Amino acid sequence: MKIVIIEPLGITPEKVEKSAKSVKQKGHEVIYYETRTEDITELIERGKDADIIIVANLPFRKNVIEHCQKLKLLSVAFTGVDHIDIDYCKQKGIMVCNAAGYSTNAVAELTFGLAISVLRNIPSCDSITRIEGTKAGLIGSELYQKTFGVVGTGAIGTKVAFIAKAFGCNVIAYSRTERESVKQQGIKYVSLEELLKQSDIVSLHVPFNDATKNLIGKEQIALMKKSAILLNTARGGVIDNQALADALNTEQIAGAGIDVFEMEPPIPKTHPLANAKHTVLTPHVAFASQEALYTRALIVFDNIINWETGTPKNVIV
CA distance 159 to 213: 23
Q: How many CA atoms lie within 13 A of 103 on its CB side?
A: 23
Q: Is 262 a catalytic residue?
A: no
> Residue 261 is part of a domain; what is its CATH number?
3.40.50.720
Active-site position among 109, 194, 262, 264:
264
- 176 shares a domain with 95: no
Quick one: pLDDT at residue 309? 96
Active-site position among 46, 235, 271, 296:
235
On whether the CB atoms of residues 88 and 60 are closer than 8 A, the answer is no
Global confidence as pTM:
0.93
Q: Is 235 a catalytic residue?
A: yes
pLDDT per residue as tens digits for the range 247-303: 999 999 999 999 999 999 999 999 999 999 999 999 999 999 999 999 999 999 999
Q: In what order do the strands lie in the sheet with 201-204?
A: 188-189, 170-174, 147-151, 201-204, 229-232, 255-258, 279-281
- 21 shares a domain with 164: no
- 120 shares a domain with 83: no
- 115 shares a domain with 82: no
- 209 shares a domain with 134: yes
Quick one: pLDDT at residue 69? 97
Please tell me the total count of domains within the chain: 2
- 299 shares a domain with 219: no
Mean pLDDT confidence for 111-119: 98
What phi and psi, each to the nearest 5 degrees, are found at residue 140?
-105, -160
- 206 shares a domain with 63: no
Active-site position among 46, 83, 179, 284:
284
Structural domain range at position 71: 2-102+289-308
CA distance 143 to 118: 11
- 215 shares a domain with 82: no
303 closest CA partner among 291, 312, 316: 312
- 276 shares a domain with 161: yes
Q: Is 67 a catalytic residue?
A: no
- 269 shares a domain with 123: yes
